[in-house]
Amino acid sequence: MSDQAEKLRSIVNNLNIPDRTLEPDRSGSARVVTITSGKGGVGKTNITINLAIALSKMGLRVVILDVDFGLANIDVLMGITTKYTLVDLIRGDHNIFEVLTDGPNNVKFLSGGSGVEELVQLDRRQLGNFISNISLLDKLYDVILIDTGAGLSRNVMSFVQAADEVILITTPEPTAITDAYALIKLISRKNKHKTIKVIVNKAESQREANDILTKLTLVSERFLAFKLQKLGYI
């Protein structure tokens, strides 16, 4: 466990987010980070939650938005039953502030509402309204972590484009690496200047993780003219 904690601390340090415990003035805009993956089951949500807790312990105000439409599970992993979910926000029954729930270590989160068909079928107007709601959190939080679904859907790409930067999670599994590259390719076509930072999860060794990070970086630079940033491994 201590080894995993050390790797997480390294990842937090590589994000270059200032420690606000040393800065009492918290005015300014929130940093929006979308955490995504090409393939499901790579540990994306676990990393999102632990990253949020680590940042909160640094004195930052952190909120997680679970936008894995239809398959959301942040509330399950936290062991918290929420009163409201993303469904209530999309329907217009409650505003963004009312649907937020208290999580561990002062982290706030928005539950996505699992298995709800209307979330899977959001139209552009509904998606646009939700993204507009995110801007309302701008002055209240230092970091907004957006946990997306896996894959190349329009919804995922909308939240990628809405973020200041993207954290891409992959594992050593060949299909996970292939799908990660496919997502990098799509993002690079839409925005050559988007910052993508890569984490290799479930690595058997540092060497294995570094090999994957190096290969992804080299292939992206050679074939996409797109530069990735190595964020670390777990």
Domains of the chain, CATH where assigned: 2-10+29-233 (3.40.50.300)
Strands 62-67 and 195-200 turn out to be: unpaired
Residue positions counted in the chain: 234
Q: Does pLDDT of 24 surpass 50? A: no
Q: Which runs of consecutive H residues, i.e. helices, occur in 115-230?
A: 117-120, 124-134, 154-162, 174-190, 206-224
pLDDT, tens only, 93-106? 888 889 999 999 99
pLDDT, tens only, 40-74? 999 999 999 999 999 999 999 999 998 886 676 88
Can you give the pTM of this predicted structure? 0.86
Q: Which amino acid is at 81?
A: T
Residue 13 — pLDDT band, cuts 50, 70, 90?
Answer: confident
